[in-house]
Chains A and B, each alone.
Chain A
Amino acid sequence: MPSIGWLRLPLWFTYLFLYLPIAVLVVMSFNASKIPFVWTGFSTRWYGELAQNELVREGLINTLIVAIGATIVATILGTLLAIGIARYVRSAIVEAYSLAPAIIPDLVLAIGLLAFFSLIGVSLSLFSVLLSHVVFGMAFVAAVVIARLGQTDPSLEEASRDLGASAASTFVRITLPTLAPGIIAGALLVFTLSIDEFVIAFFTDGPSTPTLPIVIYSMVRFGVTPEINALATILLLVSFTIVISAQRITRLTDAV
C-alpha cells in the first residue's frame, strides 16, 4: 500500500494554527524579559508579580463570586428545567426556546440584558452579572441534563414508587443520582464559561466591581505585559482541567 503520510500534513498544520499562539503565550509567561516578544531567560517572576497585583486579585475574587453563584443557581434551575421539559412538555419549540440562550450571540444577549436591567431598574453590579450568567448557564445545564435523561430508563422512578418510596424520596434517591453525571458536567461547563466570560460581563457589570476578564481587558489596552501572559496561562490551566474532568465524568457514566 502506498504511503499517504503527507495527507496528515493538513491535520498537523491545523493543530499548529490552533495551538501555536497558546504555546507562545505559555512560553512567554516564563520569560525573564519585560519586553513580551524577546526571550532572555526562564523566570517565574511574572507569576510573583501577578500575586502582588491588587487589581487582578480583586478581579479574581469578583469573578469567583459570579462564577460560583451563577454555577449554583444555573445548575439548580437548569436541572429543574430539563426534568420539566423531558417530563411534561411534548413540544420541540418550547424545548428549543429553553436552549436558545446558549446559542444566540453573546452580544445580542448582553444588549438585551442591559436593556432589561435598566427597564426594571436594577442597578448594574456583580449581582446583575451573576443573573446574566445564570441566563445562558441554565440553558447549558438543561441541554446536558436533557441528554442524560434521554439515556435513563423511565421505569426507574416508577420502580422506586412501586417499592414504597414517596415522590420526594424517589427524586432524591433515584432521579438525582441517575442524573448526577449530567448535572456535574453541566455545572463544570457553566463555571468554565463564567470565569472567562467577557462580553456579557462588560455590558452588565457595575464600574466599581470589574470581573477578571474586564481587568485583563483594561490592562491589555496599554500593551500585553508578561504578567498578562502568566494570568492567561493560569486561566488556561483552570479551564482545561475543568473541561477535561467534565468530559471524563460524562464518559465514565456513559460506559455504565
Chain B
Amino acid sequence: MTNLLTIAHVSKAYGSVVALDDVSIDIAANEFFALLGPSGCGKTTLLRAIAGFEDPDAGTITMTDNTPTANPPTTIDLLALPPNKRPVNLMFQSYALFPHMNVRTNIAYGLEREGLPAAEITQRVDEVLEIVALTDKATARPQQLSGGQKQRVALARAIVKRPKLLLLDEPLSALDRKVRAEMQIELKRLQHEVGITFVVVTHDQEEAMSMADRIAVMHEGRVQQVADPITLYSKPANVFVADFIGSGTLICGTVTASGFDALGTRLPAPTTTTTGSAVLLLRPENVTLTTDPHHAPLRGTVVETHFYGGSSTTSIAVPGLDAPVIASHAGAPTVHAGAEVGITWDPTGAVVIPG
C-alpha cells in the first residue's frame, strides 16, 4: 500500500485546551479512513488542519503524489499551502451550499476557479450529477432540496474537483436514520467508483465500523489506536477503545504469572506476557450462561432480558461489578429476570488490556 497522507507529530492548543496532542497517522491511497471519537476529541480540528483552516502549532502534514505522471513521486508540504491551493477538498458538516446559486452552479464553482474551459466544466458537472443521481435537480436551489439531496450536492461539488483526498466532516449527522443507512452504502460505493481517498470524521462508531477500511480512534487530542474495524473490536489497545467500540464488560483485576485474578477469584483469560494490573474485556457474544452457578467462574442474578427477534441480550448483575455483564445469543431469551445463573466464556475470545 502506498502512503498518500502523512500526519506527523501534529499538535494544536487553544489557550490551555489541547485539541491535538502529538498526532501521527499515515493514510494510504484509495483508503476509506475514519477519524472516530467523542465530541471534543480533536478529530474535527485534525480534519480542518488537513484542509487548511487550522494551523497546527507543531508537526507536519505531507501528501505524496504517486500517480504515474509524478515520476519520481513528489511530496507536497500541505501546511505551506493556503486552503485554495491544496489538492484536498472538504465536505462540510453543514454542507455549506451557496444559497444564491443553483445545484449546477454550486458544483461548477470549483472548476470555474481553476479556469477550465466552459465545455469541459459542463461535461464534468454533467458526469457527477449523474453519479449522484441529481441530473433532474440541476437548476434547483439548495433550499428546495431535501437533506439527502443537499448532501449529494455537497459531495458532487467536492468530487468534481477530482481531489486526491476528500475530507468529510460528519457527513451523515444531519440526515435522518433511514437516509443515513442508505447514504452509508452510497458513500462506500462512490468511494470505489471515483477512486478517491476518503477521510471521514464521525462520532458514530457503527458508522465508522461499517464504512471504513481503517479507523483512528481519538480521545482528548490523542490517537488511541489505528486499526481496521475487526482488530479494533477484537484487540483494543486500551480501555478507552475497548469501551468506546462495541459493547462489553470490563473487569478490573491483576495479571499474575499463573493467570488473571479479579473479584477474589481466578478468571479464565488468555495468557499474556506482562503482569500487573489489567482489565479483562468480555464481549457479549462470547459470554455463555449456565444454570449451574457453582461451577462457573462468575455468578449473578439476571436483571433483564431483551429480545430483538433474531437474537436476545441478557443483563446479569454480578456482585463486585459496577455494571451488569451483558450476554447475547441467537434466539429467544432462555432465562427470566431474577434467576441465578453462572457466567462462562471462551478465554481465547476474551481480551486482557494492561492498564
Q: Chain A 105-147 against B: per-residue CB contact (8 Å), 1 yes, 0 no?
A: 0000000000000000000000000000000000000000000
- A165 and B96 contact, CB distance less than 8 A: no
Q: With a CB–CB cut-off of 8 A, which chain A residues contact B53?
A: 158, 161
Across the interface, name the chain A residue whose C-beta is closest to B83. A161
CA distance A177 to B98 in the complex (A): 10
Q: Which residues of A contact B110 (CB under 8 A)?
A: 163-164
Chain B residues 68-122 with CB under 8 Å of chain A are 82-85, 88-90, 92-94, 96, 98-100, 109-110, 113-114
Q: Does A160 contact B (CB under 8 A)?
A: yes
Please report the C-alpha to C-alpha distance between residue A158 and residue B93 in the assembled complex, in whole angstroms: 12
CB-defined interface of A170-211 with B at 8 Å, one 1/0 digit per residue?
000110011010000000000000000000000000000000
| A3 located at the interface, meaning its Cβ lies under 8 Å from any Cβ of chain B in the complex | no
Nearest residue, chain B, Cβ from A166: B84
B96 & A158 in contact (Cβ 8 Å cutoff):
yes
Do B84 and A165 touch across chains, with their CB atoms under 8 A apart? Answer: yes
Contact with B along A145-166 (1 / 0, CB 8 A): 0000000010110111111111
B103 → A minimal CB distance (Å): 15
**Separation of A159 and B110 alpha carbons in the complex (Å):** 10
Any A CB within 8 A of the CB of B161:
yes
Question: Nearest chain B CB to A33's CB is how many angstroms away?
Answer: 54
A159: chain B residues at CB < 8 Å are 90, 92, 96, 98
Docked-complex contact A155 and B100, CB < 8 angstroms: no
Give A181 to B53 CA distance when docked, in angstroms: 28
The answer to whether A163 and B157 have CB atoms under 8 Å apart is: yes
Among A161, A163, A166, A169, find the residue whose CB has the most chain B CB atoms closer than 10 A. Answer: A163
Residue B318 lies at the interface, judged by CB distance under 8 Å to chain A: no
Asked whether A256 is an interface residue with its Cβ less than 8 Å from the other chain, the reply is yes
**Set of chain B residues within 8 Å of A174, measured between Cβ atoms:** 98
Please tell me if the beta carbons of A165 and B94 are within 8 angstroms of each other in the complex.
no
Q: Which residue of B is nearest A162, CB measured? A: B90
**Interface check B143, CB cutoff 8 A:** yes
B51 proximal to A (CB < 8 A): yes
A169 with B96, Cβ < 8 A, contacts A162-B84, A163-B89, A164-B161 known: no
Chain A residue contacts of B90, Cβ below 8 A: 158-159, 162
Name the CB-closest residue of A to B82.
A161
Number of interface residues of A (CB under 8 A): 19
Shortest B46–chain A CB gap in Å is 16
Take A164-B110, A164-B113, A178-B99 as given contacts and tell me if A153 and B84 are in contact as well, using a CB distance cutoff of 8 Å. Answer: no
The smallest C-beta distance from B115 to any residue of chain A, in angstroms, reads 9
| Interchain nearest-CB distance for B165 vs A (Å) | 12
List, in ascending order, chain B residues with CB within 8 A of A153's CB. Answer: 94, 96
Most buried by A among B82, B98, B114: B98
A198→B98 CA distance, assembly (Å): 42
* Chain B residue contacts of A162, Cβ below 8 A: 51-52, 83-84, 88-90
Residues on B with C-beta less than 8 A from A155 are 92-94, 96
Q: How far is the CA of A177 from the CA of B101 in the complex (A)?
A: 10
A163 with B94: in contact, given A158-B53, A158-B83 (CB under 8 Å)? no
Which residue of chain B is the closest to A174 with respect to CB atoms?
B98
Q: What per-residue 1/0 map shows which CB atoms of B187-203 lie under 8 Å from chain A?
A: 00000000000000000
- B97–chain A nearest beta-carbon distance, Å: 8
The interface residues of chain B lying within 8 Å CB-to-CB of A177 are 98, 100
Check B109 against A163 for contact (C-beta < 8 Å): yes
Q: Render B325-347 as a binary contact track against A, CB cut-off 8 A, 1 for contact.
A: 00000000000000000000000
Closest to B92 in A: A155
Specify the chain B residue showing the minimal Cβ separation from A165.
B113
Given contacts A155-B92, A155-B94, A256-B143, contact A160 B99 (CB under 8 A): no
Distance in angstroms from B116 CB to nearest chain A CB is: 11
**Also in contact, A160 and B109, with CB within 8 A (given A155-B92, A155-B94, A165-B84):** yes
Query: How far does the Cβ of B101 sit from chain A's closest Cβ, in whole Å?
Result: 9
A256 to B143: give the CA distance in the assembly, Å: 7
B residues near A173, Cβ cutoff 8 Å? 109
Residues of A within 8 A of B83 (CB): 158, 161-162
Q: Which of B82, B84, B110, B161 has the most CB of A within 10 A?
A: B84
Q: Which residues of A contact B161 (CB under 8 A)?
A: 163-164
* Residues of chain B contacted by A169 (CB below 8 angstroms): 113
Residue among A156, A164, A180 making CB contact with B96, cutoff 8 Å: A156
Quick check: A163 and B92 within 8 Å, CB to CB? no
| A256 contact set on B, CB distance < 8 A | 99, 143
How far is the CB of A111 from the nearest CB of chain B, in Å? Answer: 44
Residues of A within 8 A of B143 (CB): 256
| B interface footprint on A204-229 (CB within 8 Å = 1, 0 otherwise) | 00000000000000000000000000
**Which chain A residues border B93 with CB–CB below 8 Å?**
155
- 5 residue pairs, one from A and one from B, having the closest CB atoms: A163-B110, A159-B96, A164-B113, A155-B96, A161-B83
Supplied contacts A159-B92, A162-B90, A256-B99, 10 more A-B pairs, CB within 8 Å: A153-B94, A156-B99, A158-B90, A160-B98, A162-B52, A164-B110, A165-B84, A169-B113, A174-B98, A178-B99
Point out residues on B near A: beta carbons under 8 Å.
51-53, 82-85, 88-90, 92-94, 96, 98-100, 109-110, 113-114, 143, 157-158, 161
> Measuring CB to CB, which residues of chain A are less than 8 angstroms from any residue of chain B?
153, 155-156, 158-166, 169, 173-174, 177-178, 180, 256
Query: 12 A–B contact pairs at CB < 8 A?
Result: A155-B96, A156-B98, A158-B53, A158-B96, A159-B96, A164-B85, A164-B161, A165-B109, A169-B113, A177-B98, A177-B100, A178-B100
